[in-house]
Each structure stands twice: as structure tokens, then as C-alpha cells.
Chains A and B, each alone.
Chain A
């Protein structure tokens, strides 16, 4: 009996255990950090022979299930800031539209691949390095418990945002800021997510922690809420326009992610916020270094099938 599953849209066959393991990794990340995991899973799927476009689109389908489960659990626990999440989502949809237009412009100029790759490395490198540095500093400064956001020294950014109109209180996040801040930041993340072809969770989480000053436990739930709708949109659009969603692939990843999410939830309960951030920053930096190595080393074969970044 074969332990392979044939993927009709990817036109390939993959060992079932391999797909379950990849799904488990994503579930673990989703449960621990509130990210979709697309930034990690898409390159891994490409490495096992899934065409890039199918990998990215099917990944979104899987993340719909994982983030639904996560959002449901966090909503029950009262750790989703729906008000903040909705504003970020509106900004994200607008940013996604602008990002798609920008990519079309860059493709017409023949520079899209170069810009996307360099963007990826710069973004992952800066976010990973900053998170790692900040978490180490946080652990040294206040090992137990972390300093509340309200007591942090007001930065230039904080002072500027305090002067903006439409100030409102976000009860769940226990912050007060202008509605324009999450809207603009959501738009910027949407542009980046569209350019990089991912859900944007790994950019959104640092944005919520460092720029919106949201507490980590609300960040995870709110990020999952926002990712759910972003990936829902991507799944339907990719199925409709590009026919690149492989449902069987998504289903296998989903089963694995359910197992991974259980493990992630148990590990997460034993870790402090700063430790979680260090882990996340290490993962981001490893992915960045892997991409950088791929760009600097000469490929074995100097041609590739067309159809992905």
C-alpha cells in the first residue's frame, strides 16, 4: 500500500507523513505566536516539489482552518481585540490592493523578482534582529514579570500618535490611540504582505507588540483574527483566478497542524512572553539566512520552471 497522496492541482505526489509533519510545524507556530506560518511553510513546500504558486495558495487555505480554530479559542478566552483587528483588517485589505498594483508595475519593469527577494531578506533580517535584541534586553532588565506597556518611556512615535485625531480606547488591548494608527499600519503590512506573497502575520505581530503596544496575549488572538480574513480572501481569489489551491494538500497540512497546535499550546503555557519573542526571532532569522544562502550560492541548475517568485 502506498503512503503517498496524489495532489491533483500540484500534479505531484508526496508522502503523507511528510505533509503531516510540515502541518505540525505550522500548527506549533500558530499556537505559540499567532502567525499563519506562511513565511516558513511556503518555502518548505517548494523544497519538497510543490510548484511555488500552488504552495502559496494552498498554504492560505490551510491557514484559514488553523486561524479559525485559533480565533475561536482566543475569542472564548476573551483575548481577541475585535475593534483593533477590524481596523487592521480594513487597512490590510486596502494595502493588499495597493501591493498587488505595485507588483504589477514592478513586473512590467522586469524588476519584481529582485525587489521581492531583497525586500524579504531586509524585512526578515530587521524584524528578527530587533525582536531578538529587544527580548534579550527585556529578559536582563526585568526577568519577572515584564514591564507593563504603559510605563515604557514615550518615544517620538508615541508622542506623535498621541496628537493624531480620532483617538479611541481599545479596551481589550488596554491602549488608547488614534484609529488612524492601526489603519495606516494595517495598510503598510497589507502592502508588504502582497509584495511578499504571505498572510503577513510575522510582520503584524511585531507591529502590534512594538508600535501598537498591545499585550502579547491579546496580540496572538487579534493577529489570528486578522489572518483568518486575509487568507480567506486569498484562498477564494487564487482558486477563482489562478486555479492554484490544492485542497488535498491543504487538508493534509490541516490534520498535521491540529496536532502541532496542541503541542504549541502546551509549550506556550510554560514560556514567558520574552522567551516566546526570542524563539520567534530565531525562527525569522533562520528563514532569512536560508534565503540569503540561496541567493549567494550558485544554483546546481541554471534554469527553473516559470510560475513563482
Chain B
């Protein structure tokens, strides 16, 4: 019921706003819209370009699929040694989470609206199941820092550039860098337009990240035929070692 009321509350201003301004529909383009992971892949920059109504502030998000995340908790053992002292489990943690906005998020919308739209780390703590438990909540900041260290999470206020395009529309652009650790899959790209701290427009697109033929072959061989993969890896290593020994005829450390 609450969700229904909320959606109605969101939808009505959006409708009124678009009717009043008579703007072109919002649109979004990704460059590239599909990224292939090859053997020389070192991450990829993706440019998000959106057409939005003129004069509104813009927030963009790129989110990967959600999954359970198991972590080890660090603490002191024997009052001296920093070691793993327990486990933490968070549910529904996105693999990737990037947010870019034209202004600081609290200036764009109310906290309740940001929470609903899952924009910003405080909002994320409400969408991740488990982050509200006492122990998990205490370590939520560490979870964010861990993901930021791997470049899988980032929030950049002022990360969206706005450029006017006529009287009724503007172009919003932002860049995100997909690090090599970002897993293959479909990423949800959202562009949201705010005016007077209310959502007045939203558009979505999908970014695809997939393996090329060579990487897919190695990954499938390892996961589906582990024994064969191990034997082949060992045989190649032995042959390479023999070849090296034969070519160089080295004596190693003998002296």
C-alpha cells in the first residue's frame, strides 16, 4: 500500500511536469553499450549520454546484479594479533555500484526519495539486507571501502556535466570506468531527472559485459571440466619446463 502511494506520488509530478513543459521524451545512449572481455582486457570506460528536460538536475547510476557477499571480520586475537575473528554475510549486494550526479545528492532530493531510488551509500545500506543487523551495520562502512578499493563502487557528486540543447532540453554526460574485477553480466543504467527535490523523469538502459571466445573457452574449461583443465595445465607446464631445460641447458643452482 505504502509503495503504491509512493509510486503514485512519484508518477503524478512527473506527468504534470512533462505536460507543462512539453519536452521531448528522455533518452539515453551508452558508448559502448556492450563491452567484450578479451585476453588483453584491462577494464573499460563507458560514457553515458542522456537527453533530459532543460533546467533539471541529473543523477545517473550503473548497478550490477545483486548477490550474497560473505566477508571475514578482522579483530584482535590474544590481544595482539589482527586476524579473522568471525564472518559477516550481506544479502543483495550489487557487484558494481556507480553513482554520478550534477549536484550533491542531498540537494537533489529528500532522504526518503534517495533511499527509494537507491541513490548514494546511505540508501544502499537500506537496500542491502543484513546491513541493518547490529554487527553487519557496524562493518558496513568497511564493506563500502573494500568495494571502493577494488574500484567496484564509487559515488561522484558533480560527476555529471550538463549542456543546454535548445530551450526545452539539455544533454547530461558522465563517464564510468568498469574495472577488470567487474564480472560479466547485464548492468542496469538509470538516468534520473530532479526538479525542486522531486523526480520528474527517469530513463533506463542496459550495459552488457561479456567474455570473448578465448576467455569464454578458458573459463568454461576450468569450471565445467576441472580435471581435464588441471591435466592440460600440468602437461603444458612440464613441456614448457623441458623445452626451457633443453634450450638453455642450464645447471640451476649447482655449483
Residues of A within 8 A of B (CB): 1-6, 8-9, 11-13, 30-34, 49, 61-62, 64-70, 72-74, 76-77, 79, 113-114, 117-118, 217, 220-221, 224, 232, 235-241, 243, 245, 247-248, 250-251, 254, 258, 261-262, 264-265, 268-269, 271, 273, 276, 294-306
Contact = CB atoms under 8 A, between A and B. Distances in A.
B223 interface: yes
Contact of B238 (A1, A5, A65, A276): A65
A304 B233 contact: no
Contact of B254 (A6, A268, A299): A268
B146 interface: yes
A236 B82 contact: no
Interface string B21-46: 00000000000000001111111000
Given A73-B249, A268-B253, A295-B82, A303 B39 contact: no
12 contacts: A6-B39, A6-B40, A64-B241, A74-B252, A74-B254, A238-B230, A239-B230, A240-B230, A245-B233, A265-B251, A295-B81, A299-B82
A67 B241 contact: yes
Contact of B227 (A6, A72, A240): A240
Contact of A247 (B146, B236, B245): B236
B240 A254 contact: yes
B226 A276 contact: no
B29 to A, nearest CB: 25
A276 B234 CA distance: 30
Interface stretch (B83-91, B98-106, B122-130, B168-176): B83-91
A57 to B, nearest CB: 9
Interface of B: 37-43, 70-75, 77, 80-84, 87-88, 139, 142-143, 145-146, 149-150, 180-181, 183, 211, 215, 218-219, 222-223, 226-227, 229-234, 236-238, 240-242, 244-246, 248-255
Contacts of A269: 251, 255
The 10 A-B residue pairs with the shortest CB-CB distance, nearest first, are A239-B230, A68-B241, A4-B42, A13-B180, A72-B245, A65-B237, A64-B237, A236-B230, A69-B241, A6-B41
B252 A264 contact: yes
A150 to B, nearest CB: 20
A34 B255 CA distance: 12
A6 B81 CA distance: 35
B218 A248 contact: yes
A217 B254 contact: yes
A239 B150 CA distance: 26
Contact of A1 (B40, B82, B253): B40
B74 A299 contact: yes
Nearest to A51: B181
Contact of B83 (A113, A221, A273, A303): A113
- Contact residues of A: prevailing secondary structure: helix
Contacts of A6: 37-42, 180, 215
Nearest to A219: B253
A244 to B, nearest CB: 9
Given A73-B250, A248-B218, 4 more contacts: A8-B211, A13-B43, A30-B252, A235-B233
A65 B83 contact: no
A296 B81 contact: yes
A73 B183 CA distance: 42
Contacts of B254: 73-74, 77, 79, 217, 220-221, 268
Nearest to B40: A2
Contacts of B72: 303-306
A34 B252 contact: yes
Given A31-B252, A66-B241, A268-B253, A12 B215 contact: no
A245 B84 contact: no
A237 B234 CA distance: 11
Nearest to A64: B237
Contacts of B139: 302-303
A134 B42 CA distance: 47
Nearest to B73: A303
A76 B244 CA distance: 14
A252 B242 CA distance: 17
A223 to B, nearest CB: 10
A139 B166 CA distance: 85
